[in-house]
């Protein structure tokens, strides 16, 4: 009996143990299945049900001028959306506590009054597809409209915010800033040059939410950190840019011209302070401007510069030591060079003009310049042009920037060989001409042209700083001599009355270039230009003005007043002290 009891006890214990083990085994298997085998699937499933994710916007960076004035910025605009299938009457309790029922028609009228639509229009959108759960009522409204609509407390209205680009200064520097194509990618100007710098990175946050949508504490996970884009800082001075554009536009309208540009460069740094184009675009409203006028003429459209180019020829000849400021030339009305190519002066004169080199510049004698220029071989002249950077695009890298048009010297025909001495047969951009004068003003050292100072990151560091290494193009003496010769234009040339800036010495060169008619011949329209520096005793700023096809005036006089006004403004704005030494009185005739 004792043995039987023991056996029974054992059996029961064994059964119990087995049962327990079996149950535990089942649980273990299930546990492993859930926690390990199916873990990812289940996690994902539960995550979908519980979690919500929000995009955090990394906004596109600003574009500012050299003192931080915002030229382009990103703001949030709101799309107001509705759920048509939920559109019903709803109750609204006003401040006094009375509850009234608002019908969809009334609600539509209220919305329309704020958004500027008609109430029929809004009601039409709401009822267009009653089974739909989503429709846009109005897109891209500003904060005020958004708040007003939100305060209507309509239950079936929803909102989305989206970043939008805005340009507070309108067309001021619009030619340089450019614009975005699809709202995110720059497709013109600095928006394109610095697209990488400006572009922000959108972030993503996920969190688990409770029944009322509030995040469960500690469940927020930043999947990707949102990063705002950097700030592109331009070398442009927005006030001067506006002044230049305004002055240029006024003059172009006055003279009936077709287009024009102004380039203002700081001599000691190579920075562009203003690049005005007419016509130009207001990036807030690019549709108002024809597609071919939305760029920057100064960077993109090369033209034959004409006489302003003579400064380059003069500096080259002086640098090579083949002449000096007093070198005497007998400049005939028509000059035929040994190759048989010929040119003539713009004004008829029977006797040859007995001019010094300075006089050739002052009179802007084509024949004199050609005779002096041909002291250099074509190759030498081409090399100087290359060193002055008129054969390649500037360092700015502006979208679709032109590098000018000039065949290599060994492909020049006899006429091109001759005319390139005075700026015909070669095309340059306005920016390239300004750069030539910058080098002359800076003791012969040409500095890279700068439009963007760099990309300023959120932590204040500036990246993508452009190279500022200059190159000695001509000797300091050749540069100074050229400036002195250019000064004779302001003191005695035909435009001298329009070039006076009281208290300051000005060195400048007029230009009146025949424009190509597009068929390989010269037409009957002109590009008038004026490029110069001030103060001539210590050049600080270059102003280069180009006005194409003026009707009322067809020589440098069309551009001269613009030069005078803008140069005065630059000198005043930068507190440049007036000249103290009188101009050197270079003899121009003998």
Partner 1 sequence: MTNLAGATMTRPRTFLPSGSALPDTAFPDTAFPDTARPGIGRPQPGRRETAPRIEIVPTRSQRRARPKIAYAAVVVTGVLAIVVTQLMLSIGLSDGAYEISSLQQQQKELDRSHQVLSEQFDKLSSPQNLAASAAALGMVTNSAPVYLRLSDGAVLGSPVAAAPGAVAGASLIPNSLLTPPATTPDATTPGTTTPGTTAAAGTDAATGTAVASAPPAAEPQPDVPWQGALPSPTTR
User: Closest Cα to residue 266, out of 91, 450, 108?
Assistant: 450
Minimum distance of partner 1 from residue 528's CB (angstroms): 19
Nearer to partner 1, 274 or 317 (CB): 274
Distances (CA, A) of 192 to 21, 59, 292, 301: 71, 16, 17, 18
For every residue of 449-487, DSSP letters joined together read: PBSEEEEE-TTS-EESPPP---EE-S-HHHHHHHHHHHH
Of 239, 330, 383, 538, the one binding partner 1 (CB under 8 A) is 239
Of 97, 460, 502, 518, the one binding partner 1 (CB under 8 A) is 502
Of 67, 89, 120, 142, the one binding partner 1 (CB under 8 A) is 142
**In the structure, how many helices (H) and strands (E) does the chain have?**
19, 23
User: Closest Cα to residue 173, out of 72, 73, 287, 68?
Assistant: 72
CB 152, CB 252: distance < 8 Å? no
Minimum distance of partner 1 from residue 30's CB (angstroms): 28
Minimum distance of partner 1 from residue 532's CB (angstroms): 16
Nearer to partner 1, 343 or 540 (CB): 540
Contact between 578 and partner 1 per CB under 8 A: yes
For every residue of 330-362, DSSP letters joined together read: EE-SEEE-TTS-EEE-SS--SSPEEEEHHHHHH
Of 177, 360, 439, 501, the one binding partner 1 (CB under 8 A) is 501
Nearer to partner 1, 130 or 503 (CB): 503
Nearer to partner 1, 124 or 183 (CB): 183
Nearer to partner 1, 281 or 430 (CB): 281
Sheet holding 203-208, edge to edge: 51-56, 203-208, 221-224
Of 69, 106, 415, 457, the one binding partner 1 (CB under 8 A) is 69
Distances (CA, A) of 559 to 250, 427, 527, 528, 549: 11, 19, 10, 6, 11
Residues 203-232, interacting with partner 1 (CB under 8 A): 214-218
Contact between 76 and partner 1 per CB under 8 A: yes
Contact between 249 and partner 1 per CB under 8 A: yes
Contact between 70 and partner 1 per CB under 8 A: yes
CB 369, CB 306: distance < 8 Å? no
Minimum distance of partner 1 from residue 545's CB (angstroms): 16
Minimum distance of partner 1 from residue 215's CB (angstroms): 6
Which sign does the torsion angle of CA 442, 443, 447, 449 carry?
A: positive
Minimum distance of partner 1 from residue 383's CB (angstroms): 40
Minimum distance of partner 1 from residue 499's CB (angstroms): 13
Of 253, 339, 392, 589, the one binding partner 1 (CB under 8 A) is 253
Q: Which residue shows structure tokens 């609509």?
A: 149
Minimum distance of partner 1 from residue 308's CB (angstroms): 23
Of 137, 171, 508, 559, the one binding partner 1 (CB under 8 A) is 171
Judged by CB under 8 A, the number of residues near partner 1 is 50
Of 152, 226, 250, 258, the one binding partner 1 (CB under 8 A) is 250
Of 147, 185, 468, 590, the one binding partner 1 (CB under 8 A) is 147
Contact between 79 and partner 1 per CB under 8 A: no
Nearer to partner 1, 112 or 567 (CB): 567
User: Closest Cα to residue 547, out of 256, 241, 171, 246?
Assistant: 256
Which range touches partner 1 (CB under 8 A), out of 177-185, 196-204, 277-285, 546-554?
Answer: 277-285
Residues 12-31, interacting with partner 1 (CB under 8 A): none
Nearer to partner 1, 389 or 565 (CB): 565
Contact between 167 and partner 1 per CB under 8 A: yes
CB 200, CB 183: distance < 8 Å? no
Six-digit token pair at 418?
Answer: 């001759």
Three-state secondary-structure class, residue 325: coil
Of 48, 144, 182, 410, the one binding partner 1 (CB under 8 A) is 144
Q: For the CA atoms of 475, 480, 485, 489, what is the dihedral angle to 10 degrees?
A: 130
CB 230, CB 61: distance < 8 Å? yes
CB 107, CB 154: distance < 8 Å? yes
Nearer to partner 1, 173 or 376 (CB): 173
For every residue of 517-561, DSSP letters joined together read: -SSSSEEEEEEEEEEEEESTTS--EEEEEEEES-SS--SGGGTHH
Six-digit token pair at 348?
Answer: 């008829």
Q: Which residue shows structure tokens 């000039």?
A: 406
Q: How far apart are CA 42 and CA 36, in angstroms?
A: 10
Contact between 424 and partner 1 per CB under 8 A: no
DSSP state for residue 62 in the 8-state scheme? P
Nearer to partner 1, 172 or 360 (CB): 172
Contact between 247 and partner 1 per CB under 8 A: yes
Nearer to partner 1, 87 or 262 (CB): 262
Contact between 54 and partner 1 per CB under 8 A: no
Q: How far apart are CA 577 and CA 239, in angstroms?
A: 20
Which range touches partner 1 (CB under 8 A), out of 125-133, 141-149, 293-301, 380-388?
Answer: 141-149
Q: How far apart are CA 379 and CA 362, in angstroms?
A: 26
Nearer to partner 1, 283 or 441 (CB): 283
Six-digit token pair at 153?
Answer: 């407390």
Which stretches of the chain bind partner 1, using CB under 8 A?
Answer: 2, 69-70, 73, 75-76, 142-144, 146-147, 166-172, 214-218, 238-239, 241-243, 245-247, 249-250, 253, 282, 284-285, 288, 501-503, 565, 568-569, 571-572, 575, 577-578, 580
């Amino acid at each position: 009996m004792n043995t039987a009891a023991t056996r029974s006890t054992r059996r029961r214990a064994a059964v119990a143990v087995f049962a327990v083990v079996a149950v535990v085994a089942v649980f273990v298997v299930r546990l492993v299945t859930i926690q390990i085998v199916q873990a990812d699937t289940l996690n994902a499933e539960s995550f979908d049900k519980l979690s919500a994710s929000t995009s955090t916007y990394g906004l596109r960076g600003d574009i500012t001028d050299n003192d931080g004035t915002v030229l382009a910025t990103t703001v949030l605009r709101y799309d107001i959306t509705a759920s048509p299938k939920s559109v019903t009457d709803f109750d609204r309790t006003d401040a006094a506590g009375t509850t009234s029922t608002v019908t969809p028609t009334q609600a539509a009228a209220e919305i329309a009054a704020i958004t500027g639509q008609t109430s029929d229009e809004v009601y039409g959108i709401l009822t267009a597809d009653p089974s739909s759960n989503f429709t846009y009522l109005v897109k891209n409204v500003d904060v005020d409209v958004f708040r007003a609509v939100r305060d209507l407390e309509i239950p079936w209205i929803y909102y989305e915010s989206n970043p939008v680009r805005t340009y507070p200064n309108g067309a001021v520097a619009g030619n340089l800033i450019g614009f975005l194509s699809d709202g995110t990618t720059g497709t013109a100007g600095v928006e394109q040059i610095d697209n990488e710098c400006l572009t922000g990175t959108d972030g993503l946050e996920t969190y688990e939410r409770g029944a009322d949508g509030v995040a469960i504490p500690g469940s927020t996970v930043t999947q990707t950190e949102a990063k705002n884009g950097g700030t592109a800082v331009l070398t442009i001075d927005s006030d001067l840019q506006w002044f230049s554009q305004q002055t240029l536009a006024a003059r172009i309208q006055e003279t009936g011209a077709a287009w024009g540009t102004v380039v203002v460069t700081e001599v000691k740094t190579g920075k562009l302070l203003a690049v005005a184009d007419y016509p130009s675009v207001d990036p807030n409203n690019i549709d108002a401007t024809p597609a071919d006028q939305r760029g920057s003429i100064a960077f993109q459209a090369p033209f034959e510069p004409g006489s302003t180019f003579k400064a380059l020829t003069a500096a080259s000849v002086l640098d090579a030591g083949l002449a000096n400021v007093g070198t005497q030339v007998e400049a005939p009305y028509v000059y035929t060079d040994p190759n048989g190519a010929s040119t003539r002066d713009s004004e008829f004169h029977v006797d040859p003009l007995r001019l010094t080199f300075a006089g050739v510049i002052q009179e802007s004698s084509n024949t004199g310049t050609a005779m002096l220029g041909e002291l250099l071989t074509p190759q030498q002249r081409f090399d100087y042009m290359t060193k002055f950077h008129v054969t390649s695009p500037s360092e700015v890298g502006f979208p679709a920037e032109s590098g000018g048009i000039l065949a290599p010297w060994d492909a020049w025909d006899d006429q091109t060989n001759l005319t390139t001495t005075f700026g015909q047969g070669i095309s340059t951009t306005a920016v390239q001409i300004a750069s030539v004068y910058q080098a002359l003003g800076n003791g012969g050292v040409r500095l890279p042209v700068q439009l963007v100072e760099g990309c300023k990151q959120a932590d204040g560091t500036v990246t993508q700083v452009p190279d500022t290494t200059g190159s000695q193009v001509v000797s300091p003496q050749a540069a100074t001599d050229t400036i002195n010769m250019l000064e004779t234009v302001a003191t005695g040339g035909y435009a001298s009355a329009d070039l006076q800036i009281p208290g300051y010495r000005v060195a400048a060169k007029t230009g009146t270039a025949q424009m190509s008619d597009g068929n390989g011949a010269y037409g009957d329209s002109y590009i008038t230009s004026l490029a110069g520096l001030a103060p001539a005793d210590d050049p600080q700023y270059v102003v280069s003005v180009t006005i194409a096809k003026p009707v009322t005036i067809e020589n440098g006089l069309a551009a001269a007043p613009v030069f005078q006004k803008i140069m005065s403004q630059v000198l005043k704005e930068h507190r440049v002290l007036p000249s103290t030494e009188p101009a050197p009185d270079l003899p121009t005739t003998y």
